[in-house]
Amino acid sequence: MTKATGAAANTAANPVDMADLELPLLRGIHGPADLRKLAIDELPLLAKEIRNAICHQVSKTGGHLAPNLGVVELSIALHYVFDFATDRLLFDVGHQCYPHKLLTGRLDMLGKLRTSSGMSGFPEPNESPYDLFSVGHAGTAISTAVGMARADQLTGETHRRAVALIGDASIVNGLAMEGLNNAGTLQRQFLVVLNDNGMSIAKPQGALAQYFDRVRVNAVYDDLKKRAHEVLQRIPGGSALEEVYHRMGEVAKAALSHNHMFEQFGLLCLGPIDGHDIPTLIDMLNEIKDIDRPVLLHVKTVKGKGFAFTEGDATTFHSPKPFTVEGCRVELKKTGRSFTTAYADAMVDLMQRDEKIFAVTAAMPDGTGLSKVLPLFPQRSLDTGICESHAMAMCAGLAKVGFKPFFAVYSTFSQRALDQIFQEVSLQGLAVRVCMDRAGFVGGDGAVHHGFMDIAMFRQFPQAALLAACDEPTLRAGLEFMRQYDEGASFIRYPRDNVAEKPLQADCPPFVLGKANLMIPARGSKPDVAILAYGMPVYAAASAVDQLAVQGYDVALYDARFAKPVDGELIRQLIEAGTPILTVEDHFVTGGFGAAVLEHCADHRLDTRNIWRLGMAEKWIRQDGRAKQLAEAGFDAAGIARKVREIIETGTHQPAADVDAVRSDSR
C-alpha cells in the first residue's frame, strides 16, 4: 500500500471514477486535426481529461502510468505544432506513448489496453500510421529518426520534419549517444526533444544523470541571450548558425543554452524549459520547427504529473498492477508471490552467505527484485542505469578480479549485451552469472518484451551453462548451482509469473550439471510419452499429465533443468526404449531447448524420428494476458495434452528435419 504525502498530496487531485469521468474535449478528438481546432486556453483542460482517462484505465488493467502522465502537455504541444501525418515522430522508450495514441484517435481502444483486441502499451504501426516503429527498448529513436531524415533528403521529401522524443534517462544509453553523434552532421531540420524528468524507470544513475541535475538546478536565464553569439561560434558550423539565430524568435533565443554538453555533438541546444507550460511549449516549437540545423530541446517534466500518489512515488507507479484509490491512499492489487520477489529473497540469502557475490542491474531494480538487495548490500550491488552492454562488461571486470557477479536483467534486454558476453566474458573464460527475468511470454507488454531468444543466443558459448527454474525451490537451487559454477558463464531464466503456492516436489534436489529431474514418473514400466519441459512449462505439463491420466494415458514428466548441456543419458535411454519424447519450452522452437535435444541426438547418432517439439512459433504474438498467449501458442495444459494424444494416437514417426511439421507442432 502506498500513501501520498508532502507537497504532491496538497497540489494534485486524485483520479475520478469512470462513472463521473467526463471527457468532452477528448471524445471529440479523432485525430490531430481535431486537436488543432481547439484554442490554446482549452488545452490544459484537455490535458486533465487525458490524465483522467489514462489513470482510470491503468487502475483497472495495469500498464505504464507515471511516464505517460509526465508527457501529456508535451505530447499535446508536439501534435499542435507538427503534422505527424506528414512529419516524422519517433519514440524512444515507447512506454511514453499513451497521450500520443489518444491524440491520434485511439480513445476507443483504451478500454482494452494491453490486450490483443485493444491498445498496445507501446507504439504499434498495426494500430495507426502515426506509430512508425514497434519499439520498447531504449536508445533507438534518434538513430531511426536520423535514418528517416536522410532518406527523406534522398527522395526530395524535405518538407517532412523529423522529431525524436527521448526520455526516462534513456539518453545515457550508448546507442542514443551514437545517434546524437551522427545527428549533428545533418544539414537539415532535425529536432531531438529530451524529456528530462529526473527519473529512469527508477532513480537515474551515473555521471550524466548528475549533470542533468546540475543543469536543472543551476540554469540561469538572464544572461542566455547575451551569450548566444558565443555559443553559436563554438558549435561546428556556428558562423552559418548566426543567420539561424537572427531568424529565431525571442522565446528560443532566451532558452539558448551556453553550457549544454550536447553542444559538442553539433546540436543547437535550447533549454531546459517547463514541459508542462503548454503555451510556452507551443511558442518554442513554432519558433524552432523549421530551423535547418539539428536542434536539441531540453524539456523539464515531472514523472507522474497530475496525481499525488504518482508524483510522490513515480517508481512504484512506473508500470503498476491494477490499483484502487481511496482519498490519499492507494492499494495495489495483490496477485501472489512473483518469481521476481522469490529471486530477491534468494539473492539476499546468497549474498549473506557469500561475500564474493556482487549484484548488478541495469535501470530495473524494482523489475528484477534488486531494490531489496541494494540497500542491504550497498558496497556489493549496483544499478548501472540503462546500459546493459556496460553492465555486462563491468561484470566481466568484477569476475576477472575474483568476484561472483550476478547480473539481473530482463530476457528481452539481455540480448543488448550479447557482444560483451562473447568478447569480455566467454572468450576470457569468466564466470558471470546472468539471471533473466521475464523469460518467454510477458503478457501485456507484448512482442517488444517477449523473452524468446535467450537460449538460442547463449547456448553457443563454450562452457556456458543454461538453466531454467519452474518454481521457487528450483530457482533457489539453480542460483546455488550458479554460485559454485566457475567453468564459464551461466544463465538462468524464469517468467513474469507467480511461483506455485505448492511446489510439485516437497524436496528439491540440487542442480547437477546436465541432469534432468523426474517430476512425475510413469505408472507402468514404460510411459506412452515422456515430456521434457524446460522451465515454467513444467507446471502446465503436470496439469496435462493429470488430464491424460484420467483418459487412460501413461505419461512421465521431467524437469529438463538444463538447455546446455542437455541430459544426454536420459535422452539415449528414452530413445532406446522406444519412448516418444515431447519437449516443451517458453522460447522460439528455432535454436531453443528442443533444438538442443535434436542436435545432441544428431551428434550421437541417435534416432530423432520420435522427438516432437512445442514452443513459440516463428510469428509475433501480440499483447494480452500471459495465459492467453500460452494458449494461442499451444503449450498451455490443454495444448500439451492435445499434442500428447496426437503423438500416441497417430503412432507415426515424425522426421526431425521436417521444418513445416515442426512449425505446425509449435502453433
Closest CA to 142 of 107, 183, 201, 94: 183
**Marked catalytic residue, from 49, 73, 263, 388:** 388
Q: What are phi and psi of 338, to 5 degrees?
A: -90, 160
Closest CA to 83 of 160, 157, 141, 148: 160
Q: Report how far residue 451's alpha carbon sits from residue 436's, in angstroms, rounded to the nearest whole number.
A: 9
Q: How many CB atoms are closer than 10 A to CB 563?
A: 30
**Marked catalytic residue, from 101, 416, 433, 438:** 416
Name 167's Cβ contacts closer than 8 Å, sequence gap at least 6.
Answer: 67, 70, 71, 92, 93, 96, 194, 195, 196, 197, 301
Would residue 416 show up in a list of annotated catalytic residues for this protein?
A: yes
Closest CA to 541 of 562, 520, 526, 527: 520
Angular region, 271: left φ>0, alpha ψ -120 to 50, beta rest: left
Q: How many CB atoms are closer than 10 A to CB 652?
A: 9
Strands 329-332 and 357-361: unpaired
**Marked catalytic residue, from 51, 293, 303, 613:** 303
3-state secondary structure 35-62: HCCCCHHHHHHHHHHHHHHHHHHHHHHC
Residues 239-262 as b or e (16 or more Cβ within 10 Å = b): eebeebbeebeebbebbbbbebeb
Contact yes or no for 248/288 (Cβ under 8 A):
yes
Beta-sheet strands, E only, within 134-284:
162-167, 190-196, 268-274
Cα separation of the two ends of the chain: 40
Q: Report how far residue 133's alpha carbon sits from residue 523's, in angstroms, rounded to the nearest whole number.
A: 52
Q: How many CB atoms are closer than 10 A to CB 564?
A: 21
Query: Catalytic residue numbers?
Result: 303, 388, 416
